[in-house]
Amino acid sequence: MQPERMRRELPELTIPFSVGKRRVEGLLDEWSRGLWLRPSDLKADLLCKRLRRYFLPLWLVDSDVEAVWQAEVGYNYQAASFQEHYQDGRWVSHKVTETRTRWEARLGRLRRHYDNVAAPALEKHDVWMSRLGGYDFGARKPYSARVIAESVVRAPDYDPDAAWPDAQAALDRQAATECRVAAQADHIRSWGARAKYGALNWTQMLVPAYVTCYREGDRMYPVWVNGQSGRVYGVKLMSMSKALVVSLLIGVLAVLCFLLGLVLTVVGIGILLVLFSLPLGLLAFAPLIWVWMHNRQVQRQDVQVTGRR
Q: How confident is the model at residue 4 (pLDDT cuts 50, 70, 90)?
A: very low
Mind listing the pLDDT tens digit for each residue in 17-27?
Answer: 998 888 998 99
Mean pLDDT of all residues in 208-219:
91
DSSP class of residue 189 equals E
Is 9's pLDDT higher than 80?
no
pLDDT at 267 (0 to 100): 65
> Is the confidence at residue 308, as pLDDT, over 60?
no
Q: Comparing 84-93, 234-243, 257-266, which segment has the lowest mean pLDDT? A: 84-93
How far apart are alpha carbons 166 and 14 in whole angstroms?
Answer: 21
Per-chain mean pLDDT for the chain: 86
- Cβ neighbors of 163 (< 8 A, separation 6 or more) are 59, 61, 119, 120, 121
| pLDDT for res 264 | 76
**According to the model, what pLDDT value does residue 269 have?**
66
Stated as kind and residue range, the H or E segment containing 153 is strand 151-153
Arithmetic mean of pLDDT, 190-216: 92
**Contact predicate 238/299, CB 8 Å:** no
- CA-nearest of 37, 35, 33, 32 to 241 is 37
pLDDT of residue 283: 86
Q: What is the three-class DSSP state of 44?
A: helix
- Residue 12 main-chain phi, psi, to 5 deg: -90, -25
Residue 288 has pLDDT above 80, yes or no: yes
Which pLDDT value is given to residue 203? 92
Residue 180 banded pLDDT, cuts 50, 70, 90: very high
pLDDT for 215 beyond 60: yes
Q: Which of 52-56, 144-148, 204-208 has the lowest mean pLDDT?
A: 144-148
Q: Is it the case that residue 1 has pLDDT exceeding 60? A: no
* Least confident stretch, 61-70, 260-269, 277-286: 260-269
Residue pLDDT, tens place only, 83-124: 777 677 677 777 778 888 999 999 999 999 999 899 999 888
Cα–Cα dist 41/223, whole Å: 12
Range with the poorest average pLDDT among 33-37, 44-48, 89-93, 135-139:
89-93
Q: pTM for the complete prediction?
A: 0.76
211-238 burial string, b = 16+ CB within 10 Å, else e?
A: bbbbebeeeebebbbbbbebbbbbbbbb
Residue 74: closest CA among 186, 201, 215, 238: 186
